Amino acid sequence: MGVWVEKILNLVYPTFTNCVGCFEKIEHGKICPSCLDDISFNKTKDKKSFENFDAYYATYYSGSIKNILYNFKVHKDFKSGEFLGEILRDYIKDIGVKFDYLTYVPRDRDKIKKEGFDQSYFLCKVLNRSLNIPILKIITCKGKKFDQKQMNMYSRETNVKGKFFLTKDISNLTGKNLLIIDDVSTTYSTLKEVSNVIRKTNDKTKLTILTIAKTLI
């Protein structure tokens, strides 16, 4: 069989795929057994409660979930993004709370322009397809001054102040249950800021946060 015939057949009838964690070839699914084993799920459904919201997280930020997030965000591997979306979907089903709308913590506008996509919006689209919950694009981020990763908690909080804005009227969200999606939670400073922006305009919304992972600090 010629190389091209084989390539075309492989496109039509793929015989293997690559693991989203380690890129090793696998026969079916999205992840190999050892990468799946390496994910530390938040099995007890622990949540953190804050003034304006409860924050759930589906996994702990360790092991192969770090690779999968990296492959999604940096390598723009959308199969990794689909897999992460499925983790969130299963988690939402497990906690058994009904949400009226999905929204997300947006990347800053310059980054979206540069990278061509917003990862948390992508995750919302996966959830929208499987759970049929409408997505609200109500927040924009005009850009953070510095990379959050290099900062302590105090500077993180001041860094995100005034960066997020509502772009739509949210008076119709009174009494509604809103789920805010983000990738990783560390100090919750960004999530607090985003929830403040919403609650300042409409304090009759119920906010819940769900991130893929929570760091261990």
The binding site for Zn ion (CB under 5 A) comprises 19, 21-22, 32, 35
Joined together, the tokens standing for residue 60 give 């702990």
Cβ-based nearer residue to Zn ion, 61 or 101: 61
Tell me the sheet residues that pair with 57: 211
**What's the min distance (Å) between Cβ of 30 and Zn ion?**
10
**What's the min distance (Å) between Cβ of 22 and Zn ion?**
3
Cβ-based nearer residue to Zn ion, 30 or 192: 30
**CB-based contact 121:82 (threshold 8 Å):** no
From the CA atom positions of the chain, what is the Rg in Å?
19
**What's the min distance (Å) between Cβ of 130 and Zn ion?**
23
Q: Which residue has the tokens 């999604």?
A: 72
Instruction: Report CA-CA distances (Å) from 14 to 2, 10, 19, 75, 135.
Output: 16, 4, 14, 22, 33
**What's the min distance (Å) between Cβ of 82 and Zn ion?**
15
Angle at 67 between CA 66 and CA 69, to 5 degrees: 65
Cβ-based nearer residue to Zn ion, 19 or 58: 19
Cβ-based nearer residue to Zn ion, 29 or 175: 29
> Which of 137, 149, 160 shows the shortest CA–CA distance to 184?
149
